[in-house]
Amino acid sequence: MSENAEIGVMPQPADFKYARIAERGRPVHNGDYFSIRHPHMSYAKRAKIFAPFAALRGFDFEILCKDIHYEEKRELTLQQSEALNDTLHFLHNAARNRHMVVCSPVTITVEYYIPCSDVHHEDYRKKGSYILQSGVLQYVDEITKTIRIDDTVIAFADLYRIILPEEMR
């Protein structure tokens, strides 16, 4: 019983069915075949056996998501808004010709807003984060007000800035 003293001892109920077996303690094997094949293992080593086991699948990821700090959506100034509209119009004209998009792809960098999508987070649908993504421009659609970079479709309303390559400035 002194071996378990460092872990803590739970008192046995008076009507415990296996009290006699529990009082006997751990079996003693002195040099027999069993003790050679199965040496005594400390509690620290036994705990390591169960370390990779995750009782709650996805719990670690959920805890990690709580550490993400979201921010309010930034409002564009009039000058920033006009510059963004000019850049979008320029890119729309550049990407209008599908042959040009295929033969000489344009790589741009876009910073855009993504609202918090974690339904268990306190900032759900209130705040979000800004993503900086580089990729090949596929199209700029002025009707649906979206821009596509690689496989990502971004609404104009979520755009914060567009960084053009040096040769296009």
pLDDT grade, residue 98 (50/70/90)?
low
The domain spans of the chain are 2-66, 78-168
Mean pLDDT, rounded, for 48-56 = 72
Give pLDDT, residue 8.
64
Q: How many CB atoms lie within 10 A of CB 29?
A: 14
Q: How far is CA 154 from the centre of its chain?
A: 20
Give pLDDT, residue 82.
94
Tokens (6 digits) for 108: 């741009």
Q: How far is CA 151 from the centre of its chain?
A: 20
Rounded Cα gap, residues 56 and 58, in angstroms: 6
Rounded Cα gap, residues 169 and 167, in angstroms: 6
Name residue, tokens 């620290």.
44
Tokens (6 digits) for 165: 């390559």
Name residue, tokens 């580089």.
134
Reference 110, options 164, 53, 42, 52; nearest CA is 164
Helices and strands (H, E) in the chain, number of each type: 6, 5
Q: How far is CA 89 from the centre of its chain?
A: 34
Least confident of 51-65, 70-84, 86-100, 129-143: 51-65
Give pLDDT, residue 100.
62
Reference 115, options 106, 102, 126, 107; nearest CA is 126
Mean of per-residue pLDDT scores for the chain:
83
Percent of the chain with pLDDT over 70: 87
